[in-house]
Chains A and B, each alone.
Chain A
Amino acid sequence: DAKTTQPTSMDCAEGRAANLPCNHSTISGNEYVYWYRQIHSQGPQYIIHGLKNNETNEMASLIITEDRKSSTLILPHATLRDTAVYYCIVRVGGATNKLIFGTGTLLAVQP
């Protein structure tokens, strides 16, 4: 699986948009970009995923650059409950179907 690089930590003011970057310069054409988050040792929670096009759901938006070497997760109106570690994962299918979690970005939403 392609390696991802994320900032260790970020701050965001409550009510503002949180933009979390991820670099995945070695991504291959059939690899999806997934975002999960983990709130204080709870089970990782799926947020969004995409292959080439930008994606949006009720939780967030995912912007993938045209060359697919980087992406940005956008939480449009961050709340205190969005404080968590956010993981960017580049995933190939295959037999194991495993997700390789890196160290992620600790997003701290400030009141």
Chain B
Amino acid sequence: EAQVTQNPRYLITVTGKKLTVTCSQNMNHEYMSWYRQDPGLGLRQIYYSMNVEVTDKGDVPEGYKVSRKEKRNFPLILESPSPNQTSLYFCASSPGRDRDNEQFFGPGTRLTVL
């Protein structure tokens, strides 16, 4: 089944404790992206990657890192999480950047930073 998977689905952590949220897709998609969703603010793009070893900042990259060493994986790294990073996170992938391509979203990771 074609899908985007994320782990963990739920995470409660404390300020400053490094964490990684994994994202994997099995559709051989070139493009991958991370969004965060907050009440009243909608979904906002954090980082995106157009292919292996090619990443760039989205609208809200502060406090996050990403890597794209393999085509299928795009982990989101929080080196020193803070409470304002408490949010619902979604990973997405699509075949390419063309505007005629749909994006597939993962199930989400709900992160709480205390």
Interface of A with B (CB < 8 Å)? Answer: 30-32, 34, 41-46, 49, 51, 91-103
B43 and A99 contact, CB distance less than 8 A: yes
18 pairs from A and B in contact (CB 8 Å cutoff)? A34-B102, A41-B37, A41-B110, A42-B107, A42-B108, A43-B4, A43-B90, A44-B105, A46-B103, A49-B102, A91-B99, A92-B99, A93-B100, A96-B45, A97-B31, A98-B58, A101-B42, A102-B42
Which 10 pairs show the lowest CB-CB distances between chains A and B? A93-B99, A43-B105, A98-B45, A46-B102, A101-B43, A97-B97, A101-B42, A44-B105, A43-B107, A32-B99
Chain B residue nearest to A104 (CB atoms) is B42
On chain A, the residues within 8 Å of B56 by CB distance are 95-96
Distance of A49 Cα from B100 Cα, bound (Å): 8
Distance of A44 Cα from B89 Cα, bound (Å): 11
Interface size in chain B (residues, C-beta < 8 A): 30
On chain A, the residues within 8 Å of B92 by CB distance are 99
On chain A, the residues within 8 Å of B101 by CB distance are 97
Given A95-B56, A98-B58, does the pair A41, B48 have CB atoms closer than 8 Å?
no
A32 and B107 contact, CB distance less than 8 A: no
Tell me the smallest distance from the CB of B102 to a CB of chain A, in Å: 4
8 Å CB interface, B43-75 against A: 43, 45, 48, 50, 56, 58-59
Distance of A51 Cα from B101 Cα, bound (Å): 12
Distance of A103 Cα from B39 Cα, bound (Å): 10
Distance of A46 Cα from B4 Cα, bound (Å): 13
On chain B, the residues within 8 Å of A30 by CB distance are 99
